[in-house]
Amino acid sequence: MNGPYLLRLLCLCFASFFAVNAAAGFLISFVSRAAVRSAESMRARSAARFLFAVRVLPGALGIAAVLALCVPSYLWLEPQASSERIGWACLALALLGAAGWLVTLARVTRALVFSSRFNRAWQQTGCETLLHGESSKAVIVEKDGPLLALAGVFRPRLLVSQAVLRSLSPEELELALQHENAHRTSRDNLKRLFLLLSPAPVPLLRGFSSIERCWAKFSEWAADDEAVRGDSHRALSLAAALLRVARMGAAPRLSFLHTSLCADDHDLSARIERLLRIQPLPAKSQSSARTLALGSSFGVIVCAGALLVLPSTLSLVHRLLELLLR
């Protein structure tokens, strides 16, 4: 492969990604209120999963379009001896797509560096201890502030300050730790990384803030639900733990890649009120399982159909790419 051939492919990849991501992103922004209203009628865990899928969908579609359609059609049908020039429209879209990824990678790098420095500082000043009822060690920090957080993306660790250990009763501490372990089980820190990795429809334009805020709210509610397990007494103890930690003063500044018991929780009062009227968790209905099975079957059928008509699909995509290059 010669340089101009690869350069055209690179421009087409960035341009195609930007076009698909922007189109899907603006559509998601347009229906974001409806998506949030729909999530409010679901259980907290289902709502969090739904909003997360909605948020990362535009970027996922853009990457899928590039890897499954753009690159194969170009490599299969575009002759290497071709001397086509890149048009201004294609170049502009490619620059926007590249700029979007640069902004995204800069945001992710900044968050990872801050998170790494935070974790290293606390691990150097703290000590590892196996708390009662825990299967992995937590880092106990000599700090008066309200620190109870899950730090780390791939191997999350619990960070707990001595002040929190002194302030909470054994039952309150157990429920607070179970809340953070629920975040660990659902890999919420990793999901936060994927949120950062999802480019905006247009560089420097954050069009999904409402969806991200609601996802964070429902993920906290879901962790509360999994900690209390529908028990009103446990819910009351967790609410008391939230109040005690919130009244201890300002929490340390955390990275976006950390989850904390109540840091930056702007709807703490609503969360506590919800715990005070907690209801037993309903069993998963058969209709939900049936819906999931039907959705999975439909996805398999669509993918199989796409594979059956792949040559004609790639030919159509190549013609569209030819138009885009001009």
DSSP per residue, 92-104: HHHHHHHHHHHHH
pLDDT value, residue 194:
94
199 near 21, Cβ under 8 Å? yes
Q: What is the pLDDT of residue 53?
A: 92
Does residue 54 surpass a pLDDT of 70?
A: yes
pLDDT at 286: 41
State the average pLDDT for the chain.
81
Q: Is the pLDDT of residue 191 over 90?
A: yes
Rounded to the nearest 5°, which phi and psi values hold at 177?
Answer: -70, -40
Out of 209-223, 232-246, 256-270, 280-294, least confident range: 280-294
pLDDT value of residue 306: 56
Residue 190, pLDDT above cutoff 90: yes
CB 135 within 8 A of CB 241: no
Order of all β-strands in the sheet with 138-141: 127-129, 138-141, 157-161, 148-151, 259-260
User: How many of the other CB atoms lie within 10 Å of CB of 219?
Assistant: 24
**pLDDT score at 222:** 92
* Least confident span in 6-20, 23-37, 193-207, 256-270: 256-270
* Predicted confidence (pLDDT) at residue 193 exceeds the cutoff of 90: yes
Counting residues of the chain whose pLDDT is more than 70, the rounded percentage is 80
- Cα separation values, 36 from 47, 102, 134, Å: 9, 29, 35
- Three-state SS at 159: strand
pLDDT at 105 > cutoff 90: yes
91's CB contacts (< 8 A; 6+ apart) are 11, 15
Residue 91 above 90 pLDDT? no
What is the C-alpha separation between 95 and 12, in angstroms, rounded?
10
Lowest mean pLDDT among 8-17, 129-138, 202-211, 316-325: 316-325
The beta strand positions in the chain, using DSSP E, are: 127-129, 138-141, 148-151, 157-161, 259-260
Give me 257's structure tokens. 């890649």
pLDDT digits (tens, 9 = 90+) for 198-223: 988 887 777 788 898 899 999 999 99
What pLDDT is attached to residue 63? 92
Which position has the token pair 């170009």? 74
**pLDDT interval class at 277 (50, 70, 90):** confident
Domain residue ranges of the chain, discontinuous segments joined by +: 3-280+309-325
Residue 288 φ/ψ, nearest 5 degrees? -65, -45
Q: What's the confidence (pLDDT) of residue 268?
A: 82
Supply the pLDDT for residue 245. Answer: 87
